[in-house]
Amino acid sequence: MLDLTNKSILITGGTGSFGKKFVEMVYQRHPNLKRLVIYSRDELKQFEMAQYYPQSNYKSIRFFIGDVRDAERLKRACEGVDIIIHAAALKQVPAAEYNPMECIKTNVFGAENVINAALDNGVQRVVALSTDKAAAPINLYGATKLCSDKLFVAANNMKGSRDLRFSVVRYGNVIGSRGSVVPFFMEKRKDGVLPITHTDMTRFNISLEDGVEMVFHALEHAWGGEIFVPKIPSYRITDVAEAIGPNCEQKIVGIRPGEKLHEEMITETDSLNTVETAKYYVITPSTPTWDVEAYMKAFNGRQVEMGFKYNSGTNTDWLNVDQLREQIREHVDADFSV
Ligand SMILES: NC(=O)c1ccc[n+]([C@@H]2O[C@H](COP(=O)([O-])OP(=O)(O)OC[C@H]3O[C@@H](n4cnc5c(N)ncnc54)[C@H](OP(=O)(O)O)[C@@H]3O)[C@@H](O)[C@H]2O)c1
């Protein structure tokens, strides 16, 4: 059992969608934290979050304004911290294409700063969030997250004798997240027309709760250098349109720059180092500091077959229209109806 009693946690991007869900769940399960530091840039988002978590009731919570690009500030914020959850990122694909260096500074240099802050402050566990767009990336956002993943995996080679493990959690589209297809179609259905990029397009689906569960899993079980990938269902974009607007016209508008027809979380090449366990796939580091056979034994895992890839288009687990509606009610809008 994961025991966070008296632990100090810092979460970069703590005011984002993932961050807020993490804070909610960590307080439900581990109310006896020593310190929980929310680290992000915008004071308004922190002010609003502080209304939900008043210090009178949440004695361990702290709000630090800071940028992950600012190595000095991050290092100072990590003093006395045991665990870092790295969720801060720039993640809008078109904005990253248009402002590439900004995305590189936050997602790549920011990752390096997190690693150095961990190495210099006696931090014991670091879990970084990745995305399916980092596997065989075709856009700059995905490429920066792949760089970030590589930095965190390789950081385990620099830790020396420290009791410190870096690991990565990689997952796909979060249902209902800002800028994603569900809120977009919910808005568009008022016009009676739903824009479809391509009739064959598919995506993986995960809830924020399951994303947070994976981070807890990584905190408890990581040996260092793993990329954890959840076993999750896929959906067809046309089924999401049918679920939200069954009477709407589906208008084909063409695939957008930087978009894939299907997302991938484990490429054929990754599969050479991939272990399957009951709930997760684990991409093990190509130069692990531990024995992969022992790892498989410890987690009842097995090496995946040669040529395996985990792709939203060839997934064996699918959400149908009714299940999508249930997901929307459960995770996005309890009053949703068609
Ligand atoms: N949402 C998805 O569908 C999805 C899917 C797969 C993976 N992910 C990954 O999950 C992580 C969290 O995503 P999310 O959906 O929670 O994103 P989000 O809602 O956009 O939140 C991003 C957070 O990062 C902070 N931030 C941004 N730039 C920063 C910087 N330079 N320094 C410090 N803080 C910064 C933001 O606050 P300020 O703007 O105030 O700084 C905010 O708190 C990201 O790493 C993302 O790549 C997301």
Q: Is the CB of residue 142 below 6 angstroms from any atom belonging to ligand 1?
A: no
| pTM (two decimals) | 0.96
Query: In the CATH scheme, what architecture does the domain 8-172+205-231+264-312 have?
Result: 3-Layer(aba) Sandwich (3.40)
d(CA 158, CA 168) in angstroms, rounded, equals 16
Which of 148, 186, 192, 143 lies closest to 167 in space, CA to CA? 148
Q: Is the CB of residue 15 below 6 angstroms from any atom belonging to ligand 1?
A: yes
Which pLDDT tens digit goes with each residue over 2-45?
999 999 999 999 999 999 999 999 999 999 999 999 999 999 99
Catalytic residue ranges: 133
Helix or strand or coil: residue 281? strand
Q: Which atom of ligand 1 is nearest to the CA of 45?
A: 40
Q: Which amino acid is at 331?
A: H
- Give pairs for 297-300: CB < 8 Å, separation 24+: 299/221, 299/275
Name the pLDDT band for 288 (thresholds 50, 70, 90). confident
Which pLDDT tens digit goes with each residue over 300-327?
999 999 999 999 999 999 999 999 999 9
Q: Is the CB of residue 42 below 6 angstroms from any atom belonging to ligand 1?
A: yes
Name the pLDDT band for 114 (thresholds 50, 70, 90). very high
CB contact at 8 A, 135 and 85: no
Q: Is the CB of residue 89 below 6 angstroms from any atom belonging to ligand 1?
A: yes
Q: Which atom of ligand 1 is nearest to the CA of 141?
A: 47
Name the β-bridge partners of 187. Answer: none
d(CA 77, CA 45) in angstroms, rounded, equals 18
The DSSP string of 99-122 is: SHHHHHIIIIIHHHHHHHHHHHTT
Per-residue confidence (pLDDT) for residue 215, from 0 to 100: 98
Q: Which atom of ligand 1 is nearest to the CA of 86?
A: 45
Per-residue confidence (pLDDT) for residue 258, from 0 to 100: 85
Cα 329 to Cα 132, 182, 323, 325, 326, distances in angstroms: 24, 11, 10, 6, 5
